[in-house]
Structure 1
Amino acid sequence: MFRLSQDIGIDLGTANVLVYVRGKGIIMREPSVVAVYIPTRKIKEVGEKAREMLGRTPVNIAAVRPMVDGVIADYTTTQQMLEYIFHKVCGAKRVFKPRVLIAVPSGVTSVEKRAVKQAALAAGAREAWTIEEAKAAAIGAGLPIKEPGGNMVVDIGGGTTDIAVLSLDGIVLSRSIRIGGMKLDEVIMRHVRTQYNLAIGDRTAEEIKITIGSATNLEQEIGMEVRGRDLISGLPQTIEVSSQEIRECMVEPISQIVSRVKNVLEKTPPELASDIIERGIILTGGTAMLRGLDRLIAEATQVPTRVANDPLSCVAIGTGKYLEEHRDVPEEFHYAA
């Protein structure tokens, strides 16, 4: 039964989109990929089915990621994706339009934030507002951000890494860097192309990262077979890559993330810094699950670091908890047609 007060929280990420409905929890978890017919711009598939089409489409179909680095890169396709989400979540014959809370990176501009809100309204939302991903991630990870004490969260998503220190239900200090899981995929593809003259796609690079990728040395190094197209002969070829070489090729982007975390800690007020040393740093986001990343950050900062439970869902859960606690959204977050 549709409720007048139905509210939806959305983690509209570069790699994945997660949807939380008040009172129901997370009901949708799909890749942020849309397949469209080029002549008409109509949607063919959204989510996992569209992701399977990446690099495999005929000339009349395009499989695209409408979000890049956490912001809208293709407004029309993003609007269509949101329309699909509302249709799937609320049903085709919805009487009342939903209210929507969307998580955005802390580094987005006011123009980029307004574009997200307007896309949601154009897609059929009654009201739309945004929340910073770092705050949503902290709420979703269960951090006591309402208390007068320092909490530090590092949300490492597909397109961006958001680092924030929170206290008394607000962000004291935050930084955002446009490096995430997809940047790691890019450097893996570049390494395989340069080292082996082999062209591989996004999905293969992601599989390599998940299967053998790591941020620190493994007790026992592992390897895997990789299939791609030989750049010299043009024929399919299979090679073997090791966890050590994949770790080494990812050093630069991972080092930038660690450096930014240290920079935020250096600028944190002393009282809050002492709280963070006691409570530790919490990692959220899908890329937080990279082997050894928590250990690398802990060694670099000398602060205990751990990965949140279900890090991929923390932002979406945080938007949902915010909706549960704030039936009337604060005016500063509000935006309506």
Structure 2
Amino acid sequence: MSTAGGPAAREGWRTRARRALLGSDLAVDLGTASTLVHRSGRGVVLDEPSLVAVDAATGRLVAAGREAEEMHGRTPARVLTLRPLADGVVTDADLTEQMLRQFVGRAGASPLLRPRMVVCVPTTVTAVERGALEDAALRAGARRVFVLEEVMAAAIGAGLPVHDARASLVADVGGGTTDVAVISLGGVVNARSLRVGGEDMHDAVAAGVRAEHELLLGERSSQHITHTVGAAYPLAQEQRMRVRGRDVRTGLPRTVELSSGQVRRMLEPVVLQLVDLVTAVLDVCPPELAGDVLEDGLTLTGGAAQLQGLPERLRGELGVPVRLADQPRLAVVRGAGACADDVAALEKVLVATPAR
């Protein structure tokens, strides 16, 4: 009597068992503002702020992610809330490792069956900065780390034909960095990176409100203003919102009304840097690929690319079509996740660290 299912069924069972034994591979978009984790076969399983709360006396991790965010600005003096990354790179290796270890555990990775991990880095990251991120991933539980440029991950996640001879132009506007690149035949033809992003937009709004209204804003308030009435281009209908802060002179709470036009002027210096960055990439685009870019235009990804009017502003400044990717904030982790799901097929866009 033959075994049910035959040889093909048995081989399929062996493959599934082998994958279960090795554990699920992970892809990590470790950003300045937030960290997203993709788990093979399950998609994006974690989306939390890149924030930790630590005991000031012992350095012990008290909370990470959303738990730390809830504590932000409300902790006693002995507990500090910190961001272990700045401008898209590791600034505190120990805290980054502890935070990442927490996130890997929440993503469902087994501490015994160590996963392979795809991590994303800004285009112009230095060898030292990349090494710090790789070490943090290995110490957080990865058995092997693959490095992927954020702009390539963003292009894959946005569904661009990165392996075609036809050029794709993509700009990933994150919390701490903006990466712009022309991609063709599975590689980056030319790219520029600027350590400016959504966090700089929030800082610009906070500085503008202080200068114009003598009002101090908290981090959450400046973020809310940017997301609600912030714009890079005049809106068809003016938007307004009331904002509460602390008066610089009296120290008492006070409320002011802001318009989208006011906030747009506050954001203008940051927006100009983004325009100049994309222009710099276009200026050195090879003539053979310039026609593709003129026809297909620019694809925007990243959370800060959702600033109102940014596609319209770039379209007017650059003279090329501009589109916002579907769910732009998830583009990088989705692209990295595609690589984690099929390392062999996308191996040439990855850089592997030696197995340990």
User: Aligned partners of 1:21, 1:87: CA distance in 2, in Å?
Assistant: 12
Q: Contact between 2:173 and 2:300, CA under 8 Å: does it hold in 1?
A: yes
User: Aligned partners of 2:274, 2:286: CA distance in 1, in Å?
Assistant: 21
Partner of 1:258: 275
Check if 1:184 corresponds to 2:201.
Answer: yes
Partner of 1:26: 44
User: Aligned partners of 1:175, 1:156: CA distance in 2, in Å?
Assistant: 12
Check if 1:300 corresponds to 2:321.
Answer: no
Partner of 1:224: 241
Check if 1:68 corresponds to 2:80.
Answer: no
Q: Contact between 2:64 and 2:99, CA under 8 Å: does it hold in 1?
A: yes
2:126 to 83, 98, 109: 109
Partner of 1:15: 33
Partner of 1:49: 67
1:77-156 pair list within 5 angstroms? 77-91=95-109, 94-156=111-173
User: Aligned partners of 2:125, 2:339: CA distance in 1, in Å?
Assistant: 20
Q: Contact between 1:185 and 1:202, CA under 8 Å: does it hold in 2?
A: yes
The residue identity in structure 2 corresponding to 1:48 is R
Q: Contact between 1:12 and 1:18, CA under 8 Å: does it hold in 2?
A: yes
Cα deviation, residue 65, structure 1: 1.0
Q: Contact between 2:117 and 2:340, CA under 8 Å: does it hold in 1?
A: no
The C-alpha deviation readout for 1:112-132, integer Å capped at 9, x for no partner, is 000000011111211112110
- Which SS does the other structure have where 2:80 is aligned? strand
User: Aligned partners of 2:61, 2:184: CA distance in 1, in Å?
Assistant: 43
Cα deviation, residue 251, structure 1: 0.6
RMSD: 1.5
User: Aligned partners of 2:341, 2:136: CA distance in 1, in Å?
Assistant: 24
| Structure 1: gaps spanning 5 or more residues | none
The C-alpha deviation readout for 1:4-35, integer Å capped at 9, x for no partner, is 05210000011110000111110001111111
Check if 1:38 corresponds to 2:50.
Answer: no
- Identify if the C-alpha distance between structure 1 residues 294 and 255 changes in structure 2 by more than 3 Å, giving closer, same or farther: same
Cα deviation, residue 56, structure 1: 1.9
Check if 1:273 corresponds to 2:290.
Answer: yes
The C-alpha deviation readout for 1:80-109, integer Å capped at 9, x for no partner, is 011101211235x53211111100100110
User: Aligned partners of 1:48, 1:94: CA distance in 2, in Å?
Assistant: 22
User: Aligned partners of 2:120, 2:180: CA distance in 1, in Å?
Assistant: 14
- Which SS does the other structure have where 2:107 is aligned? helix
The C-alpha deviation readout for 1:224-258, integer Å capped at 9, x for no partner, is 11111111111111111111111001111110110
The residue identity in structure 1 corresponding to 2:157 is G
Q: Contact between 1:117 and 1:335, CA under 8 Å: does it hold in 2?
A: no
- Which SS does the other structure have where 1:94 is aligned? coil
Partner of 2:263: 246
Cα deviation, residue 327, structure 1: 4.0
1:187-198 pair list within 5 angstroms? 187-198=204-215
Q: Contact between 2:57 and 2:78, CA under 8 Å: does it hold in 1?
A: yes
Count residues in correspondence.
Answer: 336
Cα deviation, residue 40, structure 1: 2.4
User: Aligned partners of 2:284, 2:333: CA distance in 1, in Å?
Assistant: 28
Check if 1:316 corresponds to 2:336.
Answer: no
- Which SS does the other structure have where 2:123 is aligned? coil
User: Aligned partners of 1:22, 1:321: CA distance in 2, in Å?
Assistant: 8
- Which SS does the other structure have where 1:146 is aligned? coil
Segment drifting more, 9-18 vs 33-42:
33-42
Structure-1-length-normalised TM-score: 0.96
- Which SS does the other structure have where 1:164 is aligned? strand
- Identify if the C-alpha distance between structure 1 residues 207 and 293 changes in structure 2 by more than 3 Å, giving closer, same or farther: same
The C-alpha deviation readout for 1:240-293, integer Å capped at 9, x for no partner, is 111111100111111011011011011001121111112121000001111110
The C-alpha deviation readout for 1:172-229, integer Å capped at 9, x for no partner, is 0010001100001011111111111111111110100001000000111111111111
User: Aligned partners of 1:178, 1:335: CA distance in 2, in Å?
Assistant: 29
Cα deviation, residue 325, structure 1: 2.6
Q: Contact between 2:25 and 2:341, CA under 8 Å: does it hold in 1?
A: no
